[in-house]
Structure 1
Amino acid sequence: RDSYKGLAEIWFVDSSHQLQLIRHLGEVNMGDPNTLSEFISFVKNTYPTERYFLSIYDPGGGWMRLVLMRQTIMDG
């Protein structure tokens, strides 16, 4: 059951750290891989650059937790 009450939005953080609302998305299914795929396509088409960084955040620690878990496993 979806208990989140807000709607999804895309925000841009400029070089002076100011937020700019880019797009209201409404209700989106974050469990659908197409949602992420569409977001990545939007970013690549709207903000072309040589490098991108995608951080998947969750209450469990996001990407940093995965790095630490991998390092722990590799260190034995």
Structure 2
Amino acid sequence: MVSALKDIPWDKFEVAVPAFLTIVTMPLSYSIATGIAVGFIFYPITMVAKGRFKEVNPVMWVLFVIFIVYLGFIH
């Protein structure tokens, strides 16, 4: 599974940060779902930070809200 990490464009901030946080969160939280949720939350945030707001699919914004609610109810 780790061999797929070489295909991530690590030089692109808006892709690398959500990927890194997803990879790190999964083993630290003992939950694949939480890791994926963190990735779905930080992808739109980093895209907005880079000024690429219009490139984010509306489905990603829906998932952003769903996963924020999901993580809110876990704790």
TM-score of the superposed pair, with normalisation by structure 2: 0.30
Question: Quick check: which one's strand share is greater?
Answer: 1
Question: Quick check: which one's helix share is greater?
Answer: 2
- Which structure has the larger Rg over C-alpha atoms? 1
